[in-house]
Amino acid sequence: MKEEKEAKFEELTGLEITKIVFQKYFGENDSIKFYCNNGYAYEMCVDNTSGCHVGIGLELIDGNLLNIINTPILEAYLATNTRKIDGPLESETWAFYRIVTNEETVVMRWIGSSNGYYSEVVDFTKIKEG
């Protein structure tokens, strides 16, 4: 049975990533799944089940994801920046997810836009499969 619950990105601090599954759809369904040494997987993805129109996508990965596998995460944190825009989509949010290890620092930049009523930040979920 699969258990999923919302998590904070900072929970990755102190863990080791053992495997990464990355899916880029060039649209609104990008995802990155981190399998960790604590028996859980953590997934960054967009929840499209709500039926609302939002656009969230992975814009950039700065650093090499392969270099953070099997290395302790010294720090994992999220920083965001939101601005108002003109048009039917009224706001944009950039979310910078940073993972720091002794080997590499990786920054994943997601961008989201909406009419101002919906989340513009990717979901981060803790998953226990079994």
Q: Where along the chain do its domains lie?
A: 3-128
Tens of pLDDT, residues 52-79:
546 777 888 999 999 999 999 999 999 9
**Rounded Cα gap, residues 95 and 84, in angstroms:** 15
Q: Provide the pLDDT for residue 53.
A: 46
The CA-to-CA distance between both ends of the chain, in Å, stands at 5
pLDDT at 88 over 70: no
* Average per-residue pLDDT for the chain: 85
SS (H, E, C) the chain: CCEEEECCHHHHCCCEEEEEEEECCCCCCCEEEEEECCCCEEEEECCCCCCCCCEEEEEEEECCHHHHECCECCEEEEEEEEEECCCCCCEEEEEEEEEECCCCEEEEEEEEEECCCCCCCCEEEEEECC
